[in-house]
Amino acid sequence: GLGARFPTGVCPFLSLSTLAFSPFSLLAKQIANIGPFFVNTKQNLLFNACFHTVNCLDQHVQQSPDRVALIWEKDEPGTEVQITYRELLDMTCRLANTLKKYGIQKGDRVAVYMPVSPLAVAAMLACARIGAVHTVVFAGFSAEALAGRINDSECKAVITYNQGIRGGRIIELKKTVDEAVKNCPSVKHVFVAQRTDNTVHMGDLDIPLNEYVFDYQQGDIFGCVADIGWITGHSYVVYGPLCNGATSVLFESTPTYPDPGRYWETVQRLKINQFYGAPTAIRLLLKYGDQWVKKYDRSSLKTLGSVGEPINHEAWQWFHKVVGDSKCTLVDTWWQTETGGICIAPRPSEEGAEIIPAMAMRPFFGIVPVLIDENGKVIEGNDVSGALCIAEPWPGMARTIYRDNQRFVDAYFKTYPGYYFTGDSAYRTKEGYYQITGRMDDVINVSGHRLGTAEIEDAMDEHPAVPETAVIGYPHEIKGEGAFAFVVLKDDTVQTEHVKQELKAIVASKIAKYAVPDHVLVVKRLPKTRSGKIMRRLLKKIIADEGSNLGDITTLEDPSVITEILDAYQKYKSEQRTS
């Protein structure tokens, strides 16, 4: 039952990020230390804050105070800043004392609204050090979205910068905070640090902060290019690397600023050994060609990692062969915000074990995946597909949704009682490996055939002229549902209609004729968040002629993409009517 299999006392603070760092680690040492955390978990919760800050900072300052903890890759290339463990501990303690001075106590919630930076990391660790709860809000969110998160958590304080810099543009962070906290009665203080020399308005709540100063081996440079506002940044930019005494890169910029070679120029200059990024970014860079990669020395790279969504075969092969020169281990990792760290990945494994392209493959230590059918029965054996669930608790798993525990139970444990439901579907191969096939809610029913839209996308992405696609379902009066494909072509592509026919032929060949999209619309770009996620709900709204009612689009990297897609869709509809 739920109580026996997922005890409420499981400590969520020894996260898999400290363990799963091993595919890129000091695994034996970490595994040996797991045991005590499951003996008296209620007592463990009392010292979780100090546990993480001591593991992330104090132990390393004692042993190697001048080891580099963070390399801040600022927006402009060549302006990186190195922060040692001693400096990071000093920064963290100063900020922790400042928070305490202004009344922040154990159990208080603090919103961190900052771009990727050493001070943002220190803010997280300072909160943990004094027992406060940090909620890191992605610095691209609007004032309304920020206010909603502050109010949900009843935050007592906000930590921010006067401004941010990304892709050469100034981002008005303090103005956004000012607008948000007008509607947040719980906020007593706003702590403001200086990222630029520009002055901003300081009000009654505002307190200025002075500017304080994957097989991972000791001495490696670990480069996870995620934003710390997302779980990947929490686990694999901050807590995972620092717990292991690593040197972690803080990437403030974008993959295409000032040009599409930015990632690889950074790899060359910082001599990054492990590079961990999102498939959407890889597909974007693939579109610009190999020359931007081969221009730079990437010989320091040992491990490449993919995170955020299933990676398609073309992107995997390009990442492996072009970026990694076919020499680097490439790990396609599967996990979720709710899991805290990597759950399924090709490594760790026996030395020399095979890695199958575009497949997560092997459960991580302590992870017990199961596949469940539509009737709630566990599917035994191999060469089978079903809903991906986890049968046993693990370190780092989420324990609740703040102030809404029933929603937590309903979302993750009600569908298949006694099991954690991931919301993803998966295929277990004949060899027993796991391949994530997509979100269950991204499954469409075409003439009685259940089909994952990710499967169609993966097939279409194999076309050499197509760097990325997004497929969604739409109501079809005969088939029930049909597939509508949005396709981005490489810049030099000609004969668009010919490519469309080839794409349909690929889907028919790779999957089946019933899977062929009814509509293929060529667009310049897909609507993505700043973290690279495709906002498929916006595409569904557009083809449902609800373009004037898109809802919250503040997380879009560039809102002008909506106008582009709307224009392309209206033109497509006109052509369909005339033909």
pLDDT digits (tens, 9 = 90+) for 239-263: 999 998 999 999 999 999 999 999 9
Q: Do domains 2-70+215-370 and 83-208 have the same CATH topology?
A: yes
Whether the pLDDT of residue 35 is over 80: the answer is: no
pLDDT at residue 554, as a whole number: 79
Buried b (16+ CB within 10 A) or exposed e, 280-314: bbbbbbbebeeebbeebebebbbbbbbbbbbbbeb
The C-alpha torsion from 83 through 86 and 87 to 93, rounded to 10°, is 140
Select from 233, 252, 289, 275 the least CA-distant residue to 465: 289
pLDDT digits (tens, 9 = 90+) for 344-356: 999 988 878 899 9
Q: Between 290 and 37, name the one with better pLDDT.
A: 290
CATH fold label, 447-578: GMP Synthetase; Chain A, domain 3 (3.30.300)
83-208: CATH, from 3.40.50.980, 3.30.70.270, 3.40.390.10, 3.90.700.10: 3.40.50.980
The least confident of 17-21, 126-130, 509-513 is 17-21
Select from 466, 512, 520, 515 the least CA-distant residue to 488: 466
Average pLDDT, the chain: 86
Q: Is 279 exposed, middle or buried (0-12, 13-18, 19+ CB in 10 A)?
A: buried
| 50 band by pLDDT with thresholds 50, 70 and 90 | low
pLDDT at residue 454, as a whole number: 83
Whether the pLDDT of residue 104 is over 50: the answer is: yes
- Cα gap 99→96, rounded to integer Å: 5
* 272 phi and psi angles, rounded to 5 deg: -70, 135
Q: Longest Cα pair distance anywhere in the chain, in angstroms?
A: 75
| 48 band by pLDDT with thresholds 50, 70 and 90 | low
* 520 phi and psi angles, rounded to 5 deg: -130, 115
Sheet holding 303-306, edge to edge: 81-84, 68-73, 247-251, 221-224, 274-277, 303-306, 329-332
| Domain spanning 2-70+215-370: CATH superfamily | ANL, N-terminal domain (3.40.50.12780)
Whether the pLDDT of residue 22 is over 50: the answer is: no
Q: Between 414 and 533, name the one with better pLDDT.
A: 414
- Cα gap 571→523, rounded to integer Å: 11
| 170 band by pLDDT with thresholds 50, 70 and 90 | very high
| 36 band by pLDDT with thresholds 50, 70 and 90 | very low
Share above pLDDT 70 across residues of the chain, in percent, rounded to a whole number: 90
**All structural domains of the chain with their residue ranges:** 2-70+215-370, 83-208, 447-578
pLDDT digits (tens, 9 = 90+) for 55-82: 899 999 999 999 999 999 999 999 999 9
pLDDT at residue 4, as a whole number: 39
| 495 band by pLDDT with thresholds 50, 70 and 90 | confident
